[in-house]
Structure 1
């Protein structure tokens, strides 16, 4: 999972994987959260909640800081995930204008992952 850690570090070299806003944690639980019996939202929608694939193992790669997401760091995250042999890459970085598929690091990284039979998913806001 490539994710943003905006606000967690002032130094790109800080090994902290934490994120001030928690979006990556939320996304990870949506993908691989274990079953929680009796889950509800303020008493509504009571039941059992779980992620899409509770047996999944997650590898996370920090590619952004509060200063933004550089193309070099995004592509390095893709390279690390591909080298680690992941089965799926979920990119959780935000949005903006639509991608230019010939220069956008997410489009390029996804293409490289697909060449290794690794699927990627990304939601553009």
Structure 2
């Protein structure tokens, strides 16, 4: 895995947020997508086996849109637009929504549809 870029998107433009992963969630998701095979993996000695990752030669650009518990729709859509403009091949979105949203009003569904079109 190679991280080739990182961007932040924030409606609160007066704040200078970092693209660094402060909770470990982004790092965890990236390792699932592009992790390498680990032999003799286990959970404290239980369930020993081989942990297989995705595609180790992956190049990742991180688009950070959530800060603490705030994920603004405009930031999500801006990140999708940026990824599309950069020619990203695969977009993995890992955001928990606090409530159900009708698909025609869901920014993740809308952004994913536009990305799929391109």
Q: Can you give the 5+ residue segments of structure 1 that lack an aligned partner in the other structure?
A: 6-10, 117-125
The structure carrying a bigger strand percent of its residues is 2
Is 2:16 aligned against 1:13? yes
Q: Can you give the 5+ residue segments of structure 2 that lack an aligned partner in the other structure?
A: 1-7, 9-13
2:39 pairs, out of 34, 37, 50, with 37
Q: How far does residue 12 in structure 1 lie from its aligned partner after superposition?
A: 4.2
Cα root mean square deviation, aligned: 2.0
Count residues with an aligned counterpart: 106
The structure carrying a bigger helix percent of its residues is 2
The whole-number CA distance in structure 2 between the counterparts of 1:86 and 1:92 is 16
The Cα offsets for residues 64-90 of structure 1, whole Å up to 9 and x where unpaired, read as 112501111101110111111111111
The Cα offsets for residues 34-90 of structure 1, whole Å up to 9 and x where unpaired, read as 122222110122232231222222111001112501111101110111111111111
C-alpha contact (below 8 Å) 1:102/1:108 kept by paired residues: yes
C-alpha contact (below 8 Å) 2:36/2:54 kept by paired residues: no
C-alpha contact (below 8 Å) 1:30/1:52 kept by paired residues: yes
Dislocated runs of 4+, deviation >4 Å: none
User: How does the TM-score come out when normalised to structure 1?
Assistant: 0.74
